[in-house]
Amino acid sequence: MLPSKETLQFLMPYKFAVDELKTKLKIIQQEAYFSLEHNPIEHMKFRVKSPESMTKKLKRKGAAATLTSAKNVLNDIVGARIVCCFEEDIYFLRDLFYSRPDLTVVEEKDYIKEPKSNGYRSLHLIVEVPVVMHEKTEMVRAEIQIRTIAMDFWASVEHKIFYKYDREIPSHLKEELSEAASAANELDLKMAKVRKEIQNIENAYDSMIMH
């Protein structure tokens, strides 16, 4: 069924918030590249939650399936996913979000320091982005998920399995996923080590040139 005019109007500020976030992240990415000579963002994805997904999530949370309750209850109508190569990049970006005057971080969930029991790892920030429109400025909430490529690989596969089994993953698959989460974590640690070594070589080379 096509969304009603009311729904389309409701979604407008959320679509603008995606545009705002895209621009901010492009600036963050390019500025970081010039100052660090390293791009902290491997790739990004943005989405506005579909009305069907909003209804499902509201029902799951025991809230009324109305636009007003969607606005009040859901923090992730706007979603951004930032995928980085290294865990260090995640915290670099996190700190940048806190320091920006053009958005406000209102909540942080660090599933990297404290992974979920199934092995899920990711850093979630809920931010408020001002969207200036014709008649008013609306503070639009968005959920920003920041993760490494390894964390993203794991989460994407787990997400597919989760929905395939209608949220009831069989126990043998849960175990496999838990092992895969540990392997993904090890890969992140190994990559951090490799990066450190490369940085040490680069620093040694730079100081040789200086002398």
Instruction: Kindly list the residues in this chain that would bind ligand 0O2 in the complex (CB under 6 A).
Output: 57, 75-76, 109, 116, 118, 120, 124, 155, 158-159
CB of 115 to ligand 0O2, least distance (A): 9
CA-CA-CA-CA torsion sign (31, 36, 42, 47): negative
CB of 49 to ligand 0O2, least distance (A): 7
CB of 143 to ligand 0O2, least distance (A): 6
- Given the complex with ligand 0O2, which of 71 and 195 has the nearer CB atom? 71
Out of 143, 158, 179, 197, the active site residue is 143
Task: State the Cα–Cα distance between residues 26 and 41, nearest whole angstrom.
Answer: 10
CB of 169 to ligand 0O2, least distance (A): 10
- Given the complex with ligand 0O2, which of 32 and 112 has the nearer CB atom? 112
Active site residue 143: yes
CA angle 3, 54, 159 (to 5 degrees): 125
Query: Do 112 and 133 touch, CB atoms closer than 8 A?
Result: no
CA-CA-CA-CA torsion sign (67, 72, 75, 79): positive
CA angle 201, 206, 208 (to 5 degrees): 95
Task: State the Cα–Cα distance between residues 51 and 70, nearest whole angstrom.
Answer: 9
- Given the complex with ligand 0O2, which of 24 and 81 has the nearer CB atom? 81
- Given the complex with ligand 0O2, which of 32 and 122 has the nearer CB atom? 122
Task: State the Cα–Cα distance between residues 14 and 21, nearest whole angstrom.
Answer: 10
Task: State the Cα–Cα distance between residues 25 and 93, nearest whole angstrom.
Answer: 10
Structure tokens at 194: 């490799």
- Given the complex with ligand 0O2, which of 73 and 192 has the nearer CB atom? 73
CB of 76 to ligand 0O2, least distance (A): 5
Q: Annotated catalytic sites, by residue?
A: 143
